[in-house]
Amino acid sequence: MNWIKSFTGRSHEELREALDSDHARTSQERFNRFIGGGWIFILLLALVAVFWVSRPEQFGSAYNLTMLAVNAAILLVLSVGQTFVIISAGIDLSLGAVLVFSSVVSAQTMLWLSGEPAGTFGTTAGGWGVVAAGLAAGLVSGAAWGMLNGLLIAVARIPALIVTLGSLGMALGMAQILTGGVDVRAVPDRLVTEVGTGTLFGMPILVVIAGSVAIIAAIVLHLTRFGLHVFAVGSNAEAARRSGIRLTLRVISIYALSGMLAGLAATMSIARFSTTTINGHAMDNLSTISAVVLGGTSLFGGVGSIVGTVIGVFIPIVLLNGFVILGIPPFWQTVAMGAVLILAVWVDQLKRRTRQGS
């Protein structure tokens, strides 16, 4: 078998072939990496630069930058959960509705524990214990919806799109049943003033919470076994199953994590608006999906990052803010966002095609 011997002996031809293909692949990979996550970061920097240069004293003011971060905080926490789900090749349409449900459960728990409204603005005098109980109630109810989603997807094998569309309706409906459709406005004063508008070393507490969630999520996703399994499930579920990964358990925990983060976002939302916002989260699912996809996470699963999602969350917020400051009718933000989203998915497709061609 002469021709095989020549491989083990590393013929001149083989070495040249290896070198050539190596060279081709690294330059292609560099290109992939650039269009993979780099371009959207450059887009964000460009937006900030344009708005900053044209209205430095308004856009660049400390107040405006802080408000940008506060506006991003709640959406970021939701989008982090969505990132895990989408990397695992799933989708969670129920996030906004689960947020609403959890905020109702959380607010009612706090109201029940602290009694009737006492403050001037209809707030209650509940202490940190009451706030902690409310947070716990929000987290548990959010995680419960997530587990239900995960069970139906992994065990009953109903497509994630349908399951979470169904639980969207159920969670929203249940929230309206619990409240009779009227927002719970009596929430602990402490939660609103110290968490909702409070700061830590000059940083709004809500931003600190969202930032911590993003950092911890990035560590879990990229450095732990759980994170690797999330990628594996999204990349090739059958391979993951044959490798001995307990697929059902993983899928359930991914959706439970996403639901629990919606529960955390629910409490943050109460703190910020000092009321539940039953009718205020209809667009959350689409906002999170577009943020995640803008950030370079593939809708086909297996590829993605939290850093990308952070950038993806900021793009629509910076766009809206900049348009308002520049006096462009804010409706244009919706148009621009739609175009950017389509562009992002197109780039994702291109990236896949160039890689498959290699």
Partner 1 sequence: MSAVPLLEVQNVRRRFGHVQALDGVNFAVYPGEICALIGDNGAGKSTLIKILSGADRPDEGRILLEGREVSLDSPLSAQELGIATVYQDLALAPDLAASDNLFLGREITQSGVLGRLGFLNRREMRRRAAQQFARLGVNLRSPSVPVSALSGGQRQSVAIARAALWADKVIFMDEPTAALGVMQTGRVLDLIRHVRDQGIAVVLISHNMSQVIEIADRVEVLRLGRRVARIDRASATIEGLVAAMTSESALGESIK
Q: Which residues bind partner 1 (CB under 8 A)?
A: 1, 3-4, 7-8, 18, 21-22, 25, 29, 223-226, 228, 231-232, 234-236, 238-240, 242-245, 301-303, 355-356, 358
Q: Name, in order, each residue with C-beta under 8 angstroms of 143's C-beta and a sequence gap of 6 or more.
A: 256, 257, 259, 260, 263
- From the list 228, 239, 230, 74, the residue with the least C-alpha distance to 150 is 230
Closest distance of CB 302 from partner 1, Å: 3
What single DSSP character describes residue 34?
Answer: I
Least Å from the CB of residue 9 to partner 1: 11
d(CA 65, CA 263): 26
CB of 296 to partner 1, least distance (A): 13
**Residue 227 CB, nearest approach to partner 1 (Å):** 8
Q: Minimal distance in Å, beta carbon 348 to partner 1? A: 13
- Rounded CA gap, 309 and 293, in Å? 8
Nearest to 167 by CA among 136, 143, 146, 138: 146
Q: What is the largest CA-CA distance in the chain?
A: 92
Q: Are 261 and 78 in contact (CB under 8 A)?
A: yes
Indicate the residue among 2 and 120 with the shorter CB distance to partner 1.
2
Residue 57 or 238: the one with the smaller Cβ distance to partner 1 is 238
Nearer to partner 1, 151 or 245 (CB): 245
Name which of 39 and 226 has its Cβ closer to partner 1: 226
Which position has the token pair 């081709």?
24
Rounded to whole angstroms, the Cα distance separating 226 from 233 reads 10
Give the residue with the Cβ less far from partner 1, 199 or 224. 224
Question: Least distance (Å) from partner 1 to the CB of residue 349?
Answer: 15
Give the contacts of 252 (CB within 8 A, at least 6 positions apart): 147, 150, 151, 154
Residue whose CB is less far from partner 1, 86 or 99: 86
Question: What's the min distance (Å) between Cβ of 299 and partner 1?
Answer: 13
Please say whether the dihedral angle defined by the alpha carbons of residues 57, 58, 61 and 65, taken in this order, is positive or negative. negative
Q: Which is nearer to partner 1, 234 or 259 (CB)?
A: 234
Give the residue with the Cβ less far from partner 1, 190 or 229.
229
Question: Which single residue is written with the structure tokens 């905020």?
Answer: 103
Query: What angle separates helix 284-294 from helix 95-114, to the nearest 10 degrees?
Result: 120
Taken in order 82, 83, 85, 91, the sign of the CA dihedral is positive
Question: Which residue's CB is nearer to partner 1, number 175 or number 221?
Answer: 221
User: What's the closest the beta carbon of residue 19 comes to partner 1, in angstroms?
Assistant: 10
Cβ atoms < 10 Å from Cβ of 325 = 15
CB of 244 to partner 1, least distance (A): 4
Alpha-carbon distance 82 to 254, whole Å?
9
